[in-house]
A and B are shown apart, each in its own frame.
Chain A
Amino acid sequence: MADLASNESLDALLRRSLTAEQRAALEHKLGTAAAEDLALARALARLPDKPVASNFNARVLAALDHPLAAPVAPPWWTALLRPRWAAAAGVALAAMLALAGWQQHARRLQAGTFRPIAALGALDQLSPAVLQDFDAIQRYASGPAAGVDFELLESLQ
Protein backbone atom coordinates (compact mmCIF):
# COMPACT_ATOMS: atom_id res chain seq x y z
CA MET A 1 0.00 0.00 0.00
CA ALA A 2 2.88 2.31 0.84
CA ASP A 3 4.42 1.56 -2.55
CA LEU A 4 1.16 2.39 -4.25
CA ALA A 5 0.86 5.71 -2.43
CA SER A 6 4.50 6.46 -3.14
CA ASN A 7 4.03 5.66 -6.83
CA GLU A 8 1.00 7.92 -7.03
CA SER A 9 3.00 10.70 -5.36
CA LEU A 10 5.78 10.21 -7.89
CA ASP A 11 3.19 10.35 -10.68
CA ALA A 12 1.70 13.48 -9.14
CA LEU A 13 5.12 15.14 -9.40
CA LEU A 14 4.75 14.90 -13.19
CA ARG A 15 1.75 17.24 -13.10
CA ARG A 16 2.74 20.44 -14.78
CA SER A 17 0.02 22.33 -13.01
CA LEU A 18 1.61 21.85 -9.57
CA THR A 19 2.38 25.06 -7.77
CA ALA A 20 5.85 25.52 -6.29
CA GLU A 21 4.38 24.89 -2.83
CA GLN A 22 2.66 21.68 -3.88
CA ARG A 23 5.83 20.50 -5.57
CA ALA A 24 7.95 21.30 -2.51
CA ALA A 25 5.49 19.47 -0.25
CA LEU A 26 5.59 16.39 -2.48
CA GLU A 27 9.37 16.48 -2.70
CA HIS A 28 9.58 16.75 1.08
CA LYS A 29 7.22 13.81 1.46
CA LEU A 30 9.17 11.63 -0.96
CA GLY A 31 12.56 12.55 0.51
CA THR A 32 16.01 12.02 -0.94
CA ALA A 33 15.39 8.36 -1.78
CA ALA A 34 13.51 9.48 -4.85
CA ALA A 35 16.16 11.95 -6.02
CA GLU A 36 16.12 10.70 -9.62
CA ASP A 37 12.34 10.78 -9.75
CA LEU A 38 12.39 14.35 -8.49
CA ALA A 39 14.96 15.35 -11.10
CA LEU A 40 12.94 13.61 -13.84
CA ALA A 41 9.75 15.35 -12.73
CA ARG A 42 11.49 18.73 -12.73
CA ALA A 43 12.98 18.03 -16.14
CA LEU A 44 9.65 16.99 -17.64
CA ALA A 45 7.88 19.94 -16.03
CA ARG A 46 10.30 22.33 -17.66
CA LEU A 47 9.79 21.13 -21.20
CA PRO A 48 8.48 24.16 -23.05
CA ASP A 49 5.22 24.43 -24.94
CA LYS A 50 5.34 23.86 -28.67
CA PRO A 51 4.88 27.13 -30.56
CA VAL A 52 1.35 27.64 -31.86
CA ALA A 53 1.07 29.32 -35.24
CA SER A 54 -0.70 32.67 -35.10
CA ASN A 55 -3.18 31.49 -37.73
CA PHE A 56 -3.91 28.17 -35.99
CA ASN A 57 -7.50 29.09 -35.11
CA ALA A 58 -8.11 30.73 -38.48
CA ARG A 59 -7.03 27.59 -40.31
CA VAL A 60 -9.22 25.36 -38.15
CA LEU A 61 -12.23 27.64 -38.58
CA ALA A 62 -11.63 27.87 -42.33
CA ALA A 63 -11.57 24.07 -42.46
CA LEU A 64 -14.96 23.99 -40.72
CA ASP A 65 -16.45 25.98 -43.59
CA HIS A 66 -15.38 23.31 -46.03
CA PRO A 67 -18.41 21.21 -47.01
CA LEU A 68 -16.65 18.01 -45.95
CA ALA A 69 -16.25 19.38 -42.43
CA ALA A 70 -19.97 19.84 -41.83
CA PRO A 71 -21.09 18.05 -38.70
CA VAL A 72 -22.05 14.54 -39.62
CA ALA A 73 -25.04 12.98 -37.92
CA PRO A 74 -24.21 9.38 -37.09
CA PRO A 75 -26.23 6.65 -38.80
CA TRP A 76 -29.27 5.53 -36.76
CA TRP A 77 -27.77 2.14 -35.99
CA THR A 78 -24.81 3.64 -34.13
CA ALA A 79 -27.28 4.48 -31.34
CA LEU A 80 -27.47 0.73 -30.74
CA LEU A 81 -23.76 0.73 -29.92
CA ARG A 82 -24.20 3.18 -27.04
CA PRO A 83 -23.96 1.43 -23.66
CA ARG A 84 -27.49 2.32 -22.61
CA TRP A 85 -28.96 0.70 -25.74
CA ALA A 86 -26.39 -2.02 -26.34
CA ALA A 87 -27.70 -4.24 -23.52
CA ALA A 88 -31.33 -3.83 -24.61
CA ALA A 89 -30.41 -4.48 -28.24
CA GLY A 90 -28.45 -7.58 -27.18
CA VAL A 91 -31.39 -8.95 -25.17
CA ALA A 92 -33.81 -8.25 -28.04
CA LEU A 93 -31.52 -9.98 -30.53
CA ALA A 94 -31.12 -13.00 -28.25
CA ALA A 95 -34.91 -13.19 -27.80
CA MET A 96 -35.47 -13.01 -31.57
CA LEU A 97 -32.91 -15.77 -32.18
CA ALA A 98 -34.47 -17.94 -29.47
CA LEU A 99 -37.96 -17.43 -30.94
CA ALA A 100 -36.79 -18.25 -34.45
CA GLY A 101 -35.03 -21.37 -33.16
CA TRP A 102 -38.07 -22.48 -31.23
CA GLN A 103 -40.36 -21.98 -34.24
CA GLN A 104 -38.04 -23.99 -36.45
CA HIS A 105 -37.92 -26.76 -33.87
CA ALA A 106 -41.73 -26.75 -33.55
CA ARG A 107 -42.13 -27.01 -37.34
CA ARG A 108 -39.75 -29.98 -37.49
CA LEU A 109 -41.54 -31.66 -34.62
CA GLN A 110 -44.91 -31.11 -36.28
CA ALA A 111 -43.74 -32.51 -39.60
CA GLY A 112 -42.24 -35.55 -37.89
CA THR A 113 -45.48 -36.23 -36.01
CA PHE A 114 -47.93 -35.89 -38.87
CA ARG A 115 -46.04 -37.59 -41.71
CA PRO A 116 -46.71 -41.21 -40.51
CA ILE A 117 -50.35 -40.31 -39.80
CA ALA A 118 -50.73 -39.00 -43.31
CA ALA A 119 -49.13 -42.15 -44.62
CA LEU A 120 -51.56 -44.30 -42.64
CA GLY A 121 -54.40 -42.25 -44.11
CA ALA A 122 -53.22 -43.30 -47.54
CA LEU A 123 -53.83 -46.94 -46.61
CA ASP A 124 -57.58 -46.32 -47.05
CA GLN A 125 -57.06 -45.94 -50.77
CA LEU A 126 -55.40 -49.35 -51.13
CA SER A 127 -57.36 -52.20 -52.63
CA PRO A 128 -58.07 -55.31 -50.53
CA ALA A 129 -55.71 -57.22 -52.81
CA VAL A 130 -52.87 -55.10 -51.68
CA LEU A 131 -53.74 -55.49 -48.06
CA GLN A 132 -53.56 -59.24 -48.27
CA ASP A 133 -49.77 -58.84 -48.27
CA PHE A 134 -49.88 -56.55 -45.21
CA ASP A 135 -48.03 -59.03 -43.01
CA ALA A 136 -45.20 -59.24 -45.49
CA ILE A 137 -45.00 -55.46 -45.68
CA GLN A 138 -45.00 -55.17 -41.92
CA ARG A 139 -42.01 -57.48 -41.68
CA TYR A 140 -39.96 -55.09 -43.80
CA ALA A 141 -40.76 -52.22 -41.55
CA SER A 142 -38.04 -51.43 -38.98
CA GLY A 143 -40.19 -49.35 -36.68
CA PRO A 144 -43.80 -48.67 -35.98
CA ALA A 145 -45.56 -46.02 -38.07
CA ALA A 146 -42.36 -44.11 -38.91
CA GLY A 147 -41.01 -47.17 -40.69
CA VAL A 148 -43.67 -47.30 -43.44
CA ASP A 149 -41.89 -48.09 -46.72
CA PHE A 150 -43.49 -45.69 -49.16
CA GLU A 151 -41.54 -47.02 -52.14
CA LEU A 152 -42.78 -50.54 -51.48
CA LEU A 153 -46.31 -49.30 -51.04
CA GLU A 154 -46.15 -47.45 -54.32
CA SER A 155 -44.77 -50.46 -56.17
CA LEU A 156 -47.51 -52.66 -54.76
CA GLN A 157 -50.09 -50.17 -56.02
Chain B
Amino acid sequence: MPAPAPDPDAELMLRVKRGDRGAFEELLNRWRQPVLNFVARQLHDDDEAEDVAQHVFVQVWKTAARYEPTSRFTTWLFTIARNLALNELRRRGRHPAVPLDEPQDTGEAEIPRQHVDARTAPPADEAQLRELERKIEEALAALPEPQRTAILLFRDTEMSYDDIARVLKCSVSATKSVIHRGRETLKARLKPYLRTGAWAPAAGPETFPARRG
Protein backbone atom coordinates (compact mmCIF):
# COMPACT_ATOMS: atom_id res chain seq x y z
CA MET B 1 0.00 0.00 0.00
CA PRO B 2 1.56 3.36 -1.00
CA ALA B 3 2.29 5.82 1.79
CA PRO B 4 -0.15 8.74 1.86
CA ALA B 5 1.13 11.90 0.22
CA PRO B 6 2.43 14.47 2.71
CA ASP B 7 -0.17 17.08 3.48
CA PRO B 8 1.39 20.59 3.41
CA ASP B 9 -1.74 21.99 5.04
CA ALA B 10 -1.28 19.60 7.95
CA GLU B 11 2.25 20.95 8.38
CA LEU B 12 0.86 24.48 8.49
CA MET B 13 -1.82 23.39 10.93
CA LEU B 14 0.79 21.94 13.27
CA ARG B 15 2.45 25.35 13.24
CA VAL B 16 -0.93 26.96 13.96
CA LYS B 17 -1.24 24.56 16.88
CA ARG B 18 1.95 26.09 18.25
CA GLY B 19 0.38 29.55 17.89
CA ASP B 20 1.98 30.53 14.56
CA ARG B 21 -0.26 33.25 13.16
CA GLY B 22 1.60 33.42 9.86
CA ALA B 23 0.79 29.78 9.19
CA PHE B 24 -2.82 30.49 10.03
CA GLU B 25 -2.94 33.36 7.53
CA GLU B 26 -1.45 31.08 4.90
CA LEU B 27 -4.20 28.53 5.48
CA LEU B 28 -6.76 31.33 5.48
CA ASN B 29 -5.57 32.60 2.08
CA ARG B 30 -5.48 29.12 0.66
CA TRP B 31 -8.87 27.91 1.87
CA ARG B 32 -11.14 30.92 2.31
CA GLN B 33 -12.58 30.62 -1.21
CA PRO B 34 -13.42 26.87 -1.09
CA VAL B 35 -14.84 27.29 2.42
CA LEU B 36 -16.95 30.27 1.37
CA ASN B 37 -18.19 28.41 -1.73
CA PHE B 38 -19.08 25.41 0.40
CA VAL B 39 -20.86 27.34 3.14
CA ALA B 40 -22.68 29.64 0.70
CA ARG B 41 -24.05 26.66 -1.21
CA GLN B 42 -25.07 24.97 2.02
CA LEU B 43 -26.93 28.02 3.27
CA HIS B 44 -28.01 29.42 -0.10
CA ASP B 45 -27.39 32.88 1.33
CA ASP B 46 -24.18 34.73 0.49
CA ASP B 47 -24.34 37.25 3.35
CA GLU B 48 -24.84 34.67 6.05
CA ALA B 49 -22.24 32.48 4.38
CA GLU B 50 -19.61 35.19 4.77
CA ASP B 51 -20.18 35.33 8.54
CA VAL B 52 -20.24 31.56 8.92
CA ALA B 53 -17.11 31.12 6.77
CA GLN B 54 -15.26 33.63 8.94
CA HIS B 55 -16.44 31.78 12.02
CA VAL B 56 -15.08 28.54 10.52
CA PHE B 57 -11.57 29.99 10.51
CA VAL B 58 -11.96 31.42 14.00
CA GLN B 59 -12.94 27.93 15.14
CA VAL B 60 -9.91 26.46 13.35
CA TRP B 61 -7.72 28.82 15.39
CA LYS B 62 -9.56 28.20 18.66
CA THR B 63 -9.56 24.44 18.40
CA ALA B 64 -6.07 24.09 16.89
CA ALA B 65 -4.85 22.42 20.10
CA ARG B 66 -7.14 19.47 19.36
CA TYR B 67 -5.86 18.97 15.82
CA GLU B 68 -4.11 15.66 15.23
CA PRO B 69 -2.44 15.11 11.85
CA THR B 70 -3.89 11.60 11.58
CA SER B 71 -6.14 12.75 8.75
CA ARG B 72 -5.85 15.47 6.13
CA PHE B 73 -6.30 19.10 7.12
CA THR B 74 -9.22 19.45 4.72
CA THR B 75 -11.13 16.78 6.64
CA TRP B 76 -10.72 18.83 9.82
CA LEU B 77 -11.53 22.13 8.06
CA PHE B 78 -14.65 20.94 6.25
CA THR B 79 -15.93 19.03 9.25
CA ILE B 80 -15.93 22.33 11.12
CA ALA B 81 -17.48 24.10 8.11
CA ARG B 82 -20.19 21.48 7.79
CA ASN B 83 -21.01 21.53 11.51
CA LEU B 84 -21.31 25.32 11.58
CA ALA B 85 -23.42 25.35 8.41
CA LEU B 86 -25.70 22.67 9.86
CA ASN B 87 -26.01 24.67 13.09
CA GLU B 88 -27.06 27.67 11.02
CA LEU B 89 -29.58 25.59 9.07
CA ARG B 90 -31.00 24.23 12.35
CA ARG B 91 -31.20 27.73 13.77
CA ARG B 92 -33.04 28.79 10.62
CA GLY B 93 -35.35 25.82 11.06
CA ARG B 94 -36.24 27.10 14.50
CA HIS B 95 -36.55 30.71 13.33
CA PRO B 96 -37.47 30.55 9.64
CA ALA B 97 -37.13 33.76 7.64
CA VAL B 98 -38.83 33.53 4.25
CA PRO B 99 -37.67 36.17 1.76
CA LEU B 100 -40.56 38.22 0.48
CA ASP B 101 -39.11 38.96 -2.93
CA GLU B 102 -38.10 35.47 -4.04
CA PRO B 103 -40.35 32.48 -4.57
CA GLN B 104 -39.17 29.18 -3.05
CA ASP B 105 -38.16 26.90 -5.89
CA THR B 106 -37.21 23.48 -4.60
CA GLY B 107 -38.37 20.85 -7.03
CA GLU B 108 -38.69 19.69 -10.58
CA ALA B 109 -42.41 20.38 -10.55
CA GLU B 110 -41.71 24.08 -10.05
CA ILE B 111 -39.39 24.46 -13.04
CA PRO B 112 -41.01 27.02 -15.37
CA ARG B 113 -42.36 25.59 -18.59
CA GLN B 114 -40.50 28.01 -20.86
CA HIS B 115 -37.21 26.44 -19.84
CA VAL B 116 -38.44 23.04 -20.90
CA ASP B 117 -38.90 24.49 -24.35
CA ALA B 118 -35.40 25.90 -24.24
CA ARG B 119 -33.96 22.75 -25.83
CA THR B 120 -34.76 24.31 -29.21
CA ALA B 121 -33.39 27.70 -28.23
CA PRO B 122 -30.40 29.34 -29.94
CA PRO B 123 -26.97 29.12 -28.30
CA ALA B 124 -27.01 30.47 -24.80
CA ASP B 125 -26.16 34.09 -24.21
CA GLU B 126 -24.81 35.55 -21.00
CA ALA B 127 -28.23 36.14 -19.42
CA GLN B 128 -29.33 32.62 -20.19
CA LEU B 129 -26.15 31.23 -18.67
CA ARG B 130 -26.78 33.23 -15.49
CA GLU B 131 -30.31 31.86 -15.39
CA LEU B 132 -29.01 28.31 -15.82
CA GLU B 133 -26.45 28.87 -13.08
CA ARG B 134 -29.25 30.00 -10.81
CA LYS B 135 -31.20 26.83 -11.60
CA ILE B 136 -28.17 24.70 -10.78
CA GLU B 137 -27.65 26.56 -7.51
CA GLU B 138 -31.30 25.93 -6.65
CA ALA B 139 -31.06 22.26 -7.56
CA LEU B 140 -27.97 21.94 -5.36
CA ALA B 141 -29.76 23.71 -2.51
CA ALA B 142 -32.69 21.30 -2.83
CA LEU B 143 -30.49 18.20 -2.46
CA PRO B 144 -30.47 16.37 0.86
CA GLU B 145 -27.61 17.79 2.91
CA PRO B 146 -25.25 14.77 2.75
CA GLN B 147 -25.60 14.58 -1.05
CA ARG B 148 -24.94 18.31 -1.40
CA THR B 149 -21.97 18.16 0.95
CA ALA B 150 -20.42 15.20 -0.85
CA ILE B 151 -20.85 16.71 -4.30
CA LEU B 152 -19.53 20.12 -3.26
CA LEU B 153 -16.49 18.63 -1.55
CA PHE B 154 -15.80 16.40 -4.53
CA ARG B 155 -16.11 19.35 -6.89
CA ASP B 156 -14.27 22.08 -4.99
CA THR B 157 -11.53 20.22 -3.14
CA GLU B 158 -9.11 17.45 -3.91
CA MET B 159 -10.63 15.33 -1.16
CA SER B 160 -10.76 11.58 -1.74
CA TYR B 161 -13.82 9.40 -1.11
CA ASP B 162 -12.17 8.42 2.17
CA ASP B 163 -11.70 12.05 3.26
CA ILE B 164 -15.30 12.90 2.36
CA ALA B 165 -16.50 9.80 4.21
CA ARG B 166 -14.77 11.12 7.34
CA VAL B 167 -16.55 14.47 7.00
CA LEU B 168 -19.90 12.73 6.46
CA LYS B 169 -19.11 10.21 9.23
CA CYS B 170 -20.05 7.26 7.05
CA SER B 171 -18.31 4.50 5.09
CA VAL B 172 -16.53 4.99 1.77
CA SER B 173 -19.10 2.86 -0.05
CA ALA B 174 -21.92 4.90 1.49
CA THR B 175 -20.14 8.07 0.34
CA LYS B 176 -19.89 6.78 -3.23
CA SER B 177 -23.57 5.93 -3.08
CA VAL B 178 -24.42 9.41 -1.74
CA ILE B 179 -22.51 11.08 -4.60
CA HIS B 180 -24.17 8.80 -7.14
CA ARG B 181 -27.64 9.57 -5.79
CA GLY B 182 -26.83 13.27 -5.73
CA ARG B 183 -25.73 13.18 -9.35
CA GLU B 184 -28.87 11.31 -10.37
CA THR B 185 -31.11 13.76 -8.50
CA LEU B 186 -29.37 16.74 -10.08
CA LYS B 187 -29.71 15.18 -13.54
CA ALA B 188 -33.42 14.56 -12.98
CA ARG B 189 -34.02 18.09 -11.72
CA LEU B 190 -31.93 19.78 -14.39
CA LYS B 191 -32.82 17.52 -17.30
CA PRO B 192 -34.53 20.22 -19.40
CA TYR B 193 -31.58 22.57 -19.00
CA LEU B 194 -28.89 19.98 -19.57
CA ARG B 195 -30.47 19.20 -22.95
CA THR B 196 -30.25 22.77 -24.17
CA GLY B 197 -26.63 22.39 -25.16
CA ALA B 198 -25.76 25.49 -23.19
CA TRP B 199 -22.97 23.54 -21.49
CA ALA B 200 -21.63 22.07 -24.70
CA PRO B 201 -18.26 23.85 -24.86
CA ALA B 202 -15.71 21.74 -23.05
CA ALA B 203 -14.60 23.72 -20.05
CA GLY B 204 -11.33 23.37 -18.24
CA PRO B 205 -10.41 25.26 -15.08
CA GLU B 206 -8.64 27.89 -17.10
CA THR B 207 -12.02 29.19 -18.29
CA PHE B 208 -13.25 29.69 -14.72
CA PRO B 209 -12.61 32.44 -12.24
CA ALA B 210 -9.62 31.86 -9.97
CA ARG B 211 -10.43 29.01 -7.62
CA ARG B 212 -8.67 30.30 -4.55
CA GLY B 213 -8.61 33.89 -3.54
Q: Which of B58, B176, B199 contacts A60 (CB 8 A)?
A: B58
B28 at interface, CB cutoff 8 A: yes
**A61-69, A102-110, A130-138 - interface stretch:** A61-69
Q: Distance (Å) between the CB of B68 and the closest chain A CB?
A: 7
The docked-state distance in angstroms from the alpha carbon of A82 to that of B70 is 11
How many Å from the CB of B165 to the closest CB on chain A? 13
Q: Are A73 and B65 in contact (CB under 8 A)?
A: yes
With a 10 A CB-CB cut-off, give which of B63, B64, B183, B206 has the most chain A CB atoms: B183
Say whether B208 contacts A46, CB under 8 Å.
yes
Chain A residue nearest in CB terms to B57 = A60
Task: Choose one: B151, B158, B190; the contact of A43 (CB below 8 Å).
Answer: B190
Verify B58–A64 contact, CB threshold 8 A.
Answer: yes
Instruction: Write out the residue numbers on chain B whose beta carbons fall within 8 Å of the beta carbon of A8.
Output: 176
Q: Is the CB of A61 within 8 A of B205?
A: no
Chain A nearest CB: distance from B135 CB in Å? 9
CB of A72 within 8 Å of the partner chain: yes
- Residues of chain A contacted by B55 (CB below 8 angstroms): 63
Measured as residues with beta carbon below 8 angstroms from the partner, the interface class of chain A is 35 or more
A53–B50 contact, CB under 8 A?
Answer: yes
> Pick the contact of A49 from B21, B193, B213 — CB < 8 Å?
B213
* Given A11-B176, A19-B204, A63-B54, also A39-B199 (CB < 8 A): yes
CB-defined contacts of B25 to chain A, threshold 8 Å: 57, 61
Cβ-defined contact, B54 with A48, below 8 A: no
Cα of A14 to Cα of B24 in the assembled complex, Å? 29
- Nearest Cβ on chain B to A105's Cβ, whole angstroms: 41
Q: How far, in whole Å, are A61 and B22 apart by their CA atoms in the complex?
A: 11
Alpha-carbon distance A19/B193, docked complex (angstroms): 24
B53-80 interface code vs A (CB 8 A; 1 in, 0 out): 1110110011111101010000000000
Q: Which of B62, B155, B202 contacts A71 (CB 8 A)?
A: B62
Confirm or deny: A87 has a beta carbon within 8 angstroms of a beta carbon on chain B: no
Known contacts A14-B151, A15-B154: A42-B183 contact under CB 8 Å: no
- Interface SS, B side: helix
Say yes or no: A82-B205 contact (C-beta < 8 A), given A16-B155, A47-B136, A50-B40: no
In the complex, the chain B residue whose C-beta lies closest to that of A50 is: B40
Does B183 lie within 8 Å of A10, measured CB to CB?
yes
Residue in chain B with minimal CB distance to A54:
B213
> In the complex, how many residues of chain B place their beta carbon closer than 8 angstroms to a beta carbon of chain A?
64
Say if the beta carbon of B32 comes within 8 Å of chain A. Answer: yes
Q: Are A69 and B61 in contact (CB under 8 A)?
A: yes
A36 within 8 A of B: yes
Q: A7-B176, A71-B19 are in contact. Are A50 and B136 (CB under 8 A)?
A: no
Query: CB of B87 within 8 A of chain A?
Result: no
Asked if A59 contacts B54 (CB within 8 A), the reply is yes
Stretch of A20-28, A92-100, A142-150 with 4 or more beta carbons under 8 angstroms from chain B: A20-28
Which residue of A10, A21, A23, A44 contacts B155 across the interface (Cβ within 8 Å)?
Answer: A44
B residues 103-134 with Cβ under 8 Å of A? 129, 132-133
Q: Provide the residues of chain A in CB contact with B54, threshold 8 Å.
A: 56, 59-60, 63
Which residues of chain A are within 8 angstroms of B142 by Cβ–Cβ distance? none
Contacts of B33 in A (CB 8 A): 49-50, 52
Q: How far is the CB of A5 from chain B (nearest CB, A)?
A: 12
Contact with A along B15-45 (1 / 0, CB 8 A): 0000101001100110011001100110000
